[in-house]
Amino acid sequence: MRTTYPRQAGRRGGARSWWGKAWQRAVEEAAFTESDLRAGRAVARRGEVGGISIGSGTVLAAVREGDDAWTVEVSVPELEDEQRRALVDVVAAATGRVAALLAGDLPHDLVEHAEEIGVELLPYGGELAATCTCPHALDPCPHALAVLAQTGWLVDADPLVLFAVRGLDRESLLADLHARTAPADLDGHASASAVDLADDVEVAADAVLRARRLVELLEAGADLPDGLL
C-alpha cells in the first residue's frame, strides 16, 4: 500500500522527537559532503519538495528547481516476513504501545526490544539509498537530501510512517494485531493477554477515528457533536 502526503510548507527548525532526530542523523550520515547537506536542507526549508509518496521500502517525490523538476526515489530495506512478525509481537508485548503509536509517540523501549531480537526499525545512513533524475555527480544529491529531510518531518510527526517505509503500514499493523487476538485457549476462551490487546487496539483505533472526524468538522467549520469530544 502506498500513501501520498500533501506537499509540506517550508519551515525552519529540526526534529522534535527522539526518533525524528535519529532519522535526521541518518540523513546526515548519508550525505557525501557538508555542502550537499546544507543545500538539501535549504531546498527542504524553502518548501520545494512536492507531495511525498511512501510505499513499502520506497519514498518518491518531485523537487522543483527554477523551471525544472526532478524526480527522487529513495530505497530503504524492508523488513523480512519473520522480522515483520517479530515487530508485531514487540508492539503487542506491552499494554499501551499500540495506543502510543497511534497517538504519534514511539516508545523508546519498543525500539530497544525490537533491536534485541534483531529488528532494526530506525535506519542508518548507509541504508538510505537515493537516486535523482538531475545531473548531479553523486547520490544522494541535494534534491534527494531535501526529500529525505522532509520525510524526516513526516516521521517526526507520525512514527508509523517509519513502520510503513520498513514495509508495515498502519492498516497492516492493525490487521496483524487483530489477528493475534483470534486464537483461543484450550477451553475455547480468548486468553487474557489477547483480550487486553484487542481492547487496546479497539480503543486506540476509535480514538484515531474520532480525531480524524474532529479535524474534518473543524476544517468544514461545522459544529462539533458532544459525542466526539
172-229 per-position pLDDT tens digit: 999 999 887 665 444 544 444 444 544 455 455 555 544 554 444 455 555 544 444 5
Q: pLDDT-derived band of residue 10, with 50, 70 and 90 as boundaries? A: confident
Please indicate, yes or no, if residue 198 is contained in any of the structural domains.
Answer: no
Please indicate, yes or no, if residue 186 is contained in any of the structural domains.
Answer: no
Please indicate, yes or no, if residue 190 is contained in any of the structural domains.
Answer: no
Span 81-92, mean pLDDT?
A: 95
Provide the strand spans (E) within 10-115: 52-55, 58-65, 68-75
Cell numbers given for 19: 526518533
Bridge partners, 56 (sequence order): none
Spatial distance between the Cα atoms of 123 and 20, rounded to a whole number of angstroms: 11
Spatial distance between the Cα atoms of 60 and 130, rounded to a whole number of angstroms: 10
Span 108-120, mean pLDDT?
A: 96
CA torsion sign for 93, 96, 98, 101 is: negative
Q: What percent of the chain has pLDDT over 90?
A: 71
Q: What is the pTM of this model?
A: 0.79
Q: Report the pLDDT value the prediction gives residue 36, as an integer from 0 to 100.
A: 96
Which range has the worst mean pLDDT, 2-6, 68-72, 78-82, 177-181?
177-181
- DSSP run (H or E) holding 131: strand 129-132
Domain count, the chain: 1
Q: Which domain holds residue 47?
A: 3-180
Please indicate, yes or no, if residue 228 is contained in any of the structural domains.
Answer: no
Span 35-43, mean pLDDT?
A: 96
CA 90, chain centre distance (Å): 17
Spatial CB neighbours of 114, under 8 Å, sequence gap ≥ 6 = 86, 87, 90, 120, 121
6 preceded by cis ω (within 30°)?
A: no
CA 112, chain centre distance (Å): 17
Please indicate, yes or no, if residue 203 is contained in any of the structural domains.
Answer: no
CA torsion sign for 168, 104, 26, 45 is: positive
Query: Is 189 strand, coil or helix?
Result: coil
Please indicate, yes or no, if residue 115 is contained in any of the structural domains.
Answer: yes
Q: Report the pLDDT value the prediction gives residue 209, as an integer from 0 to 100.
A: 45
Q: Which residue has the cell 520545494?
A: 48
Please indicate, yes or no, if residue 213 is contained in any of the structural domains.
Answer: no
Cβ pair 63, 130 in contact under 8 A: no
Please indicate, yes or no, if residue 27 is contained in any of the structural domains.
Answer: yes
